[in-house]
Amino acid sequence: MLRHDIVVVGAGLAGQRAALAAAEAGHDVALVSKLHPLRSHSGAAQGGINAAIGAEDSVETHIYDTVKGADYLGDQDAIEFFCQQAGPTVIEMEHFGTIFSRGDDGSLARRAFGGAGFPRTIYAADRTGLALLQGIYERLGTETIRMYNEWFLLSIIVRQGRVQGITAFDRKTSEVEGIAAKAVIVATGPAGRIYGRTTNAHSCTGDGVAAAYRAGANLKDMEFVQFHPTALLESSILITEGARGEGGILTNAQGERFMARYAPHVLDLASRDVVSRAIVTEVREGRGFPGGYVNLELMHLGREKIESRLQEICDFSRSFAGVDPVTEPIPVYPAQHYMMGGVGTNMRGETNVPGLYAAGEAACVSIHGANRLGGNSLLETLVFGKQAGVAAATYVSGTPEPTLLPADVEREVTRFRALWDRKEGESPSALRTELQKTMDQFVGIYRDPDELFRALRQVRALQERYRNVRVADSATAYNIDLSDAIEVGFLLDLAEVIVVGAIARTESRGAHTRVDFPARDDKNWMKHTIARWTPGGPELSYSPVAYTRWEPKERVY
């Protein structure tokens, strides 16, 4: 049985930052990831990272913008801390070696992003996630950390009221191992692949969130799912908000810059939920193009600006949509993009399970409340990745040795055998496709109660059918059928939590829009949704939102 002080699961920005913090504190750290760290979905983030660094901007404005962007469901104490940490965090990443875009004076370049009162989004062309991921990976290389690359998380073991470690398997051999650990940090990112129309990578299946949930961790605010307004029509590949930050505009089939009607002050740079709803409305009301989309126009920005500042999306547009943004508009429609919800933590990354931490998109602190501002996610990974690493490092100093039992490993081995031995059964990909269709159709931007109930019934039917899932590929090296099967189980669990939460919340707030409850209801619903795993399904409770200074107001852009 393997053993480390701290196991970090997920090697994107949050996971690597947590591992770095824990290693710097002198602990024996393992980093477990089902992909090579540089392949993590953090690398797909495009537009930028927020920090109020310039003299004209202020941390105060960043805090207010985030509080408002969250539609007042964000915890204001955490948001204050978060925004205060932003400047030092970005400076630290620059010192680690991150290559950012610069202004002529040599300082960090900044662009405007949705919902922001000031251009405070620091960027590296339109591949900021990649730049930061390279920066943290390079720095991490100076520490001694045990890397378990292409190891797949199966379960988090909790015994005697605290974390004892994880079980996982090496994808190259399909051998299941137990890794005993005093603390586990979940940083496995989102579960966007619950949806078919998602900007997320195929790997985004919420593994750590589901494992934490099954191990007794509370999930928070899962019903708040962000849809990004500008995803390519067919492939749902992300076209960064930065394109609008650089001056791109949205037009409908009548050639109208329709955002003027929905967000008269900031137009196309309103927050994402506002813009997404606007696009869906335009299409529903017949002002979209045949096939159901609107146009993102960049042509007026000129070839030079597009090809230098928006290099990657230029490439995406040409390669994946057959459109040259220099001369033609890009067809876009909203797609699932980010999960505001996740494993519930406080500002230190602590969950309700001693020894279990979470950070990044997998966690919900909550900074983003009901809707996230662009540029705040990259920041969150680093701020709370560090916090979780530091907190875990302190925790393990006073903890007894972990005990992982052979039975913990045997349980998973038996499960594998069952999946392989089944002669007939459901294919993982068929179940996944049905789940995705259900979520796309019924749990999207505009939520109808009948449709939500239908979705819940279908998810539960799929969970039932999942008991009969079989793995047709018997090879032990790099068995995707096997990992697909495990992932579908995670997706179903999380989908259930999302739908249950969406049914329960009878208001519209941020990204959660109920057609039967179109208004925000602060009196009854200014609270976080907490979901706890029970054998019968998620059990919901509610916790208060922390606020320090900003009274909820009507949210107008």
Partner 1 sequence: MFAAEKLITVPFDVYRYDPARGGEPRYQHYELQLAPHTPVLTGLLRIRDELDPTLTLRYSCRSAICGSCAMLVNSKSRLVCRTPVGPEVAEHGRIVVDPMRNQPVVRDLVVDQTPFWDRYEQMEPHLIPDPQRPMPEGRTTLMTPAQVDRFKDTPRCIACAACYSACPAVEADPEFPGPMALAKLYRFVVDPRDGGHQARLRKIQTSGLWLCLRCHLCTEACPKEVRPSERIRDLKELAVRAQGGTEPGSRHAIGFLKNIEEGGTLNEMKLVRQTSGLIGTAKAAGQGIRLVRKKPEMLKRPKTIEGIDEVRKLYRALEKDEEVPL
What is the binding site for partner 1 (CB under 8 A)?
A: 35-36, 38-41, 43-44, 88, 90-91, 94-97, 99-102, 104-108, 124, 127, 130-131, 134, 138-139, 141-142, 172, 201-203, 234-235, 237-238, 311-312, 315-316, 319-323, 328, 331, 427, 429-430, 433, 472-481
Classify the phi-psi angles of 508: left when phi > 0, otherwise alpha if psi is within -120 to 50, otherwise beta: beta
End-to-end CA distance of the chain: 55
Name which of 39 and 244 has its Cβ closer to partner 1.
39
Task: Provide the b/e sequence for 124-162 (b: ≥16 CB within 10 Å).
Answer: bbbbbbbbbbbbbbebbeeeebebbbbbbbbbbbbeeeb
Q: How far apart are CA 412 and CA 406, in angstroms?
A: 10
Q: Tokens standing for 294?
A: 């609107």
Q: How far apart are CA 420 and CA 453, in angstroms?
A: 34
Name which of 2 and 38 has its Cβ closer to partner 1.
38
Rounded to a whole number of angstroms, the minimum distance from the CB of residue 517 to partner 1 is 36
H-state helical runs in 397-427:
406-421
Give Cα separations from 156 to 208, 317, 431 (angstroms): 8, 40, 24
Asked if residues 222 and 362 have their Cβ atoms less than 8 Å apart, the reply is: no
Which of 364, 377, 69, 329 shows the shortest CA–CA distance to 200?
377
Q: Is residue 272 flagged as an active site residue?
A: yes
Q: Tokens standing for 162?
A: 């605290």
Name which of 143 and 450 has its Cβ closer to partner 1.
143
Name which of 24 and 94 has its Cβ closer to partner 1.
94
Parallel/antiparallel/unpaired status of strands 146-149 and 29-33: parallel
Name which of 91 and 556 has its Cβ closer to partner 1.
91
Amino acid making up residue 94: E
CA angle 488, 491, 496 (to 5 degrees): 130
In the sheet that holds 294-297, the strands lie side by side as 225-232, 330-339, 294-297, 249-251
Rounded to a whole number of angstroms, the minimum distance from the CB of residue 146 to partner 1 is 15
Name which of 201 and 526 has its Cβ closer to partner 1.
201
Rounded to a whole number of angstroms, the minimum distance from the CB of residue 106 to partner 1 is 3
- Of 272, 447, 514, 555, catalytic: 272
Rounded to a whole number of angstroms, the minimum distance from the CB of residue 147 to partner 1 is 10
Name which of 7 and 45 has its Cβ closer to partner 1.
45
In the sheet that holds 363-364, the strands lie side by side as 363-364, 342-344, 219-220, 527-534, 537-544
Give Cα separations from 345 to 160, 218, 530 (angstroms): 21, 9, 11
Rounded to a whole number of angstroms, the minimum distance from the CB of residue 417 to partner 1 is 18
Name which of 424 and 477 has its Cβ closer to partner 1.
477
Give Cα separations from 47 to 50, 95, 330 (angstroms): 10, 20, 17
Which of 35, 33, 37, 362 shows the shortest CA–CA distance to 190?
362
Rounded to a whole number of angstroms, the minimum distance from the CB of residue 44 to partner 1 is 5
Structural element, H or E, at residue 316: helix 311-321
Q: How far apart are CA 442 and CA 515, in angstroms?
A: 12
Which of 200, 251, 272, 207 shows the shortest CA–CA distance to 33?
207
Name which of 100 and 338 has its Cβ closer to partner 1.
100
Can you tell me which residue has the tokens 């107008």? 556
Rounded to a whole number of angstroms, the minimum distance from the CB of residue 505 to partner 1 is 31
Rounded to a whole number of angstroms, the minimum distance from the CB of residue 182 to partner 1 is 28
Rounded to a whole number of angstroms, the minimum distance from the CB of residue 400 to partner 1 is 35
Q: How far apart are CA 47 and CA 310, in angstroms?
A: 9
Residues with active-site annotation: 272
